[in-house]
Amino acid sequence: MSAHTKMHPTNKQPRTQKEDSIPWREASKDLIAKYTETGMLVRGGRHKAGLTQKELAQEIGVLPHHISEMEHGKRPIGKKMAQKLGKIFNVDYRVFL
């Protein structure tokens, strides 16, 4: 069985990745247009961590409106900020660059 095949629990037949599936960037193109890809990663990470913009801002030592600006692509995310975000969200900081 290949790495991409899983057994369906109800009928025990191999299940493969659907051919009609689409890449996440294509599925999220409206959100990427609104927030930018990096902004969407910040927003998604913040939501997954259960943090408000204010709480995230306090964690990384910036003003709350800076978080909003990062999420909307109006504030660039440098290496130091990416490292702080990566540490909080437990991901490689390079995803934010």
Question: CATH no. for residue 91?
Answer: 1.10.260.40
The domain total for the chain is: 1
9 in a structural domain: no
Instruction: Report yes or no: 85 and 76 within 8 Å, Cβ to Cβ.
Output: no
Q: What is the pLDDT of residues 66-93, one digit of tens each?
A: 999 999 999 999 999 999 999 999 999 9
pLDDT of 1: 46
- pLDDT of 59 over the 50 cut: yes
- pLDDT of 8 over the 80 cut: no
Q: What is the DSSP string of 30-84?
A: HHHHHH-HHHHHHHHHHHHHT--HHHHHHHHTS-HHHHHHHHTTSS---HHHHHH
- pLDDT of 54 over the 90 cut: yes
17 in a structural domain: no
86 in a structural domain: yes
pLDDT of 17: 57
